[in-house]
Amino acid sequence: RAKMSGRATFCFYTAQLQAQMARALHVENGLRRALERDEMLLHYQPQCALADGRIVGAEALLRWRHPELGWIPPSEFVPMAETSGQIAGIGRWVLDTALGQLRRWIDAGLPPLRMSVNLSAVQLRQPDLPEQVAELLQRHRIEPAWLELELTETVAWDDPLESARTVARLNAMGLRIAIDDFGAGYTSFSHLSLFRAGTLKIDRSLVSVIENSEGDCSVVTAIVNLARTLGMHTVAEGVETPGQRAALARTGCDSAQGWLFGRPVAAADFETVLLQHLETTPG
């Protein structure tokens, strides 16, 4: 009874595929005008020291509200922007907006924090990326040390050595490089020798199972020790429970990010978080 005829199944999948393709087209068309129509904004998520919970940084996360389709997750539109070449303009806007926001927070007297910005592998292939970054740092009067650029492998590296040279130039400027999603399958061990990064971000998939077994915990401990040997700072991603936090603290991991510490929120709400934080953690 439950068995569908071959033809019905075929029609079902065809209809589903058509709907998917129609949405992809709709999203891609909208992407072209998203910035000029002011449909994009950044949310900020705190990064906290595991030892005392102090906010040490913020990661800027891109948000897009399509006029008809509503909120579209970056996992859907960032890869599209990468293949269409629009990531260059969008990425530049993200950096400009995040650094401008950091300047306003500094001017408002909020305690200094490091701003982490996600960078696409496509942006790394732009030969003038270091100049772009330098120009924006200067325009917003931000010390390079306060900017961290997070690298994930979402597209194939055409020329990993060229990317490594660009990363070396960014390092030489004094800003910090982070390897994002470490252990997720894309970003892996080869990146550790290719890029001299100051920060290693441990992927959520490893953090979510840390309480399951001794073995899962040992994997994270080994990564933290490896990072320390390489002189890198560690950040655990996607920390949702006090149990995960406690287990992470035992591994010696430096900082954490996740819903337990704070969700990504708009700039005004993040400011409230920072002000509350100032009151509860003096000094």
Q: Which residues lie near Mg ion (CB under 5 A)?
A: 118, 150, 180-181, 237
Q: Which of residues 221-240 bind ligand C2E (CB under 6 A)?
A: 237-240
**Residue type (1 letter), 186:** Y
78 binds ligand C2E (CB under 6 A): yes
Residue 179 binding target from Mg ion, ligand C2E, none, CB below 5 to 8 Å by type:
none
- Where are the alpha helices (H) located in 108-199, listed in sequence order? 121-124, 129-139, 160-172, 189-194
Return the range that interacts with ligand C2E (CB under 6 A); candidates 47-55, 70-78, 137-145, 218-226.
Answer: 70-78
H or E element that contains 88: helix 87-107
List the beta strands (DSSP E) in the chain. Answer: 40-49, 55-66, 70-72, 114-119, 147-151, 176-182, 199-202, 233-236, 255-256, 265-266
Distance, CA of 252 to CA of 100 (rounded, Å):
33
73 binds ligand C2E (CB under 6 A): yes
Size of the site for ligand C2E (CB under 6 A): 23
Q: Which of residues 31-50 bind ligand C2E (CB under 6 A)?
A: 45
Q: Which of residues 154-193 bind ligand C2E (CB under 6 A)?
A: 180-181
Distance of closest approach, residue 278 Cβ to Mg ion, in angstroms = 25
Q: 173: which 2 tokens? A: 């400027």
Distance of closest approach, residue 181 Cβ to Mg ion, in angstroms = 4
Options 46, 57, 183, 264; binder of ligand C2E; rule CB under 6 A: 264
Instruction: Provide the sign of the torsion angle of the four alpha carbons 281, 174, 229, 257, taken in this order.
Output: positive
Cβ neighbours around 132 below 10 Å, total:
16
243 binds ligand C2E (CB under 6 A): no
Cβ atoms of 48 and 255 within 8 Å: the answer is: yes
Q: Which is nearer to ligand C2E, 73 or 112 (CB)?
A: 73
Q: Which is nearer to ligand C2E, 137 or 283 (CB)?
A: 137
Q: Which is nearer to Mg ion, 57 or 130 (CB)?
A: 57
75 binds ligand C2E (CB under 6 A): yes
Cβ atoms of 181 and 199 within 8 Å: the answer is: no
Cβ atoms of 60 and 115 within 8 Å: the answer is: yes
Q: Which is nearer to ligand C2E, 183 or 264 (CB)?
A: 264
118 binds ligand C2E (CB under 6 A): yes
74 binds ligand C2E (CB under 6 A): yes
Query: What does the CA dihedral 226, 227, 229, 233 come to, rounded to 10 degrees?
Result: -160
CA 15-19-21 angle, 5° bins: 115
Give the interface with ligand C2E as residue ranges (CB under 6 A). Answer: 45, 61-62, 73-75, 78, 91, 94, 118, 120, 150, 152, 180-181, 204, 237-240, 258-259, 264
